């Protein structure tokens, strides 16, 4: 038997195995690849500019995953999700190199009482944004003012979610929220035998969604621990967020607004309290082409530190799975703030109190 014959037989076996796995009942392979080329100005004290491919997000973060369920009878199902984030610019894993850094959980689900799940999961703070958000994790958006927003997940989490018609609710509790340091995580491993409150975290949400409008409220609290990042070096120190949001659909328009109140007890924080507010809108110019925009402002209480961000995006849908887009953003910092407009791809910061403009052109494909 020749080498070519052996190779052909192996390829045929692998193809057959992959086809059988892809069609296995209750299991779905899914994902999204989103890549853009970005141009930033004011990236050095002397000015300067930078052209790059963002590694974390462009209009949406690239990811692939497996999810599935099994009917256990009596209205009960077993469920799981394994989801990996990656940078399409290099192919490297995001979320500090985790294989399944976006989600990794297993649980039981019932139409009566909802779903209980265990593992690495989204904070309810993040989930409360999904139906309401328009720009979402766009490279220029609220994630530039608060980088935690698009990465709000907990390790070691017990979660519950339920939905009854337009009403949905959820809560979770983490025994040790995230060992990875910023920007990939929140830098606090937890599950300490000597300090039972170290690195614990909790969140809850309540939502109401209809075809025409919706509103949500969510709350999240993170505790610190010995050696934790961002100055939360004690379990007695907390970082807490309260989020209110609402949206409405008016013909070709969708409009929304949100407010985030943060109370951060870290001694290294710019200020203990801050407010982040935004308004946004989307307009369907044609069935295939839409325009989206957002104005957001971050204000630290009793401090000159402030930042205002304007983001715009035009998206052309080529098919149900493929879209091309152009997105632009500008940030103006005040005081000693030096936030980049490109929150999804840190590395080019303006000077304290300075401004920065970004432009990105990209394409995404879902599978």
In the chain, how many domains are there?
1
Task: Determine, yes or no, domain membership for 104.
Answer: no
Task: Determine, yes or no, domain membership for 136.
Answer: yes
Task: Determine, yes or no, domain membership for 65.
Answer: no
Tokens of 87: 């940078």
Task: Determine, yes or no, domain membership for 61.
Answer: no
Task: Determine, yes or no, domain membership for 304.
Answer: yes
Task: Determine, yes or no, domain membership for 48.
Answer: no
Cα gap 132→118, rounded to integer Å? 26
Task: Determine, yes or no, domain membership for 320.
Answer: yes
Our separate counts of H helices and E strands in the chain read 3, 17
Where b means 16+ CB within 10 Å and e means fewer, 281-311 reads bbeeeeeeebebbbebebbbeebebbbbbbb
Task: Determine, yes or no, domain membership for 70.
Answer: no
* Bridge partners, residue 334, by sequence: 306
Residue numbers of the domain that contains 358: 112-366
- Strand, coil or helix: what is 245? strand
pLDDT at 227: 87
- Strand, coil or helix: what is 20? helix
Please give the chain's pLDDT, 367 residues, in tens. Answer: 554 454 344 344 434 444 444 445 689 999 999 999 999 999 988 889 999 999 888 999 999 999 999 999 999 999 999 999 999 999 999 999 999 999 999 999 999 999 999 999 999 998 887 766 899 999 999 999 998 998 899 999 999 999 999 999 999 999 999 988 887 788 998 788 889 999 999 999 999 999 999 999 999 999 999 989 999 999 999 999 999 999 999 999 999 999 999 999 999 999 999 999 999 999 999 999 999 999 999 999 999 999 999 999 999 999 999 999 999 999 999 999 999 999 766 668 999 999 999 999 999 999 9
pLDDT at 18: 44
Q: Residue 233: which CATH number?
A: 2.40.160.10
Up-side HSE of residue 206: CA atoms within 13 Å toward CB?
2
pLDDT at 6: 41
For residue 186, count other CB atoms closer than 10 A to its CB: 26
Tokens of 347: 């590395």
């Amino acid at each position: 038997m020749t080498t070519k014959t052996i190779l052909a037989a192996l390829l045929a076996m692998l193809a057959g195995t992959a086809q059988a796995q892809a069609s296995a009942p209750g299991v779905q392979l899914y994902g999204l690849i989103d890549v853009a080329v970005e141009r930033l100005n004011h990236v050095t004290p002397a000015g300067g500019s930078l052209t790059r491919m963002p590694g974390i997000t462009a209009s949406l973060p690239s990811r692939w995953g497996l999810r599935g369920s099994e009917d256990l009878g009596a209205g009960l199902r077993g469920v799981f999700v394994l989801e990996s984030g990656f940078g399409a610019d290099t192919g490297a894993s995001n979320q500090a190199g985790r294989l399944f850094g976006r989600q990794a959980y297993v649980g039981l689900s019932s139409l009566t009482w909802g779903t209980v799940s265990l593992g690495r999961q989204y904070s309810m703070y993040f989930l409360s944004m999904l139906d309401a958000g328009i720009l979402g994790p766009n490279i220029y958006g609220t994630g530039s003012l608060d980088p935690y927003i698009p990465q709000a997940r907990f390790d070691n989490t017990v979660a519950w979610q339920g939905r009854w018609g337009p009403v949905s609710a959820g809560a979770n509790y983490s025994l040790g929220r995230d060992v990875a340091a910023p920007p990939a995580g929140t830098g606090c491993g937890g599950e300490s035998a000597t300090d039972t409150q170290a690195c614990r975290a909790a969140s809850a949400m309540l939502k109401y969604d209809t075809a025409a409008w919706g509103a949500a409220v969510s709350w999240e609290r993170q505790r610190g621990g010995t050696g934790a990042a961002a100055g939360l070096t004690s379990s007695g120190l907390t970082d807490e967020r309260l989020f209110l949001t609402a949206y409405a659909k008016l013909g070709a328009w969708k409009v929304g607004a949100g407010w985030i109140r943060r109370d951060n007890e870290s001694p290294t924080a710019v200020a203990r309290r801050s407010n982040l507010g935004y308004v946004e809108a989307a307009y369907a110019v044609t069935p295939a082409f839409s325009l989206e925009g957002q104005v957001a402002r971050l204000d630290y209480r009793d401090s000159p530190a402030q930042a205002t961000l304007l983001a715009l995006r035009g998206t052309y849908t080529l098919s149900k799975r493929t879209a091309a887009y152009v997105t632009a953003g500008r940030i103006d910092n005040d005081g000693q703030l030096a936030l980049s407009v490109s929150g999804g791809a840190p590395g080019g910061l303006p000077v304290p109190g300075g401004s920065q403009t970004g432009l990105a052109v990209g394409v995404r494909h879902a599978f």
